[in-house]
Amino acid sequence: MPAWSLLVWLAIGAVAGLVARNFIGGTPPFGKIGDMILGIAGGVVGGYGLALLGIGGSGTVGGLIATCIAALAGAMLLVWLTKRIKVQR
């Protein structure tokens, strides 16, 4: 994996974390930096899901769009889970 590809994944994940917080709403329990970290982790989860489904290819526009959607979905899942766990405490 080229270094620029990793940087793109990190950037997409960070932005996805911030956008996911806006969709989920509420006060971020770990702040904006925490949401960005959750977004990066969500991007990894979403990317793994895409790989399992065999969707998207590296270097294609369809692959980039699928990556963005998967990162947002994964980030939303993780942000929602942290919100639920934090509320129960």
Residue 87 has pLDDT above 70, yes or no: no
CA atoms of 2 and 35, how far apart (whole Å): 26
63, part of any domain = yes
13, part of any domain = no
Tokens found for residue 87: 């509320």
Tokens found for residue 49: 């899901």
Question: Which residue, chain included where needed, has tokens 């899942």?
Answer: 77
pLDDT one-digit tens code per residue, 33-78: 988 998 888 888 877 777 787 775 555 666 778 878 888 888 888 8
Total domains, the chain: 1
41, part of any domain = yes
By the 8 A CB rule, do 71 and 43 touch? yes
Range of the domain at 49: 32-89
- pLDDT value of residue 56: 59
pTM of the full structure? 0.78
- Region of 60 on the Ramachandran plot (φ > 0 left; ψ -120 to 50 alpha; else beta): beta
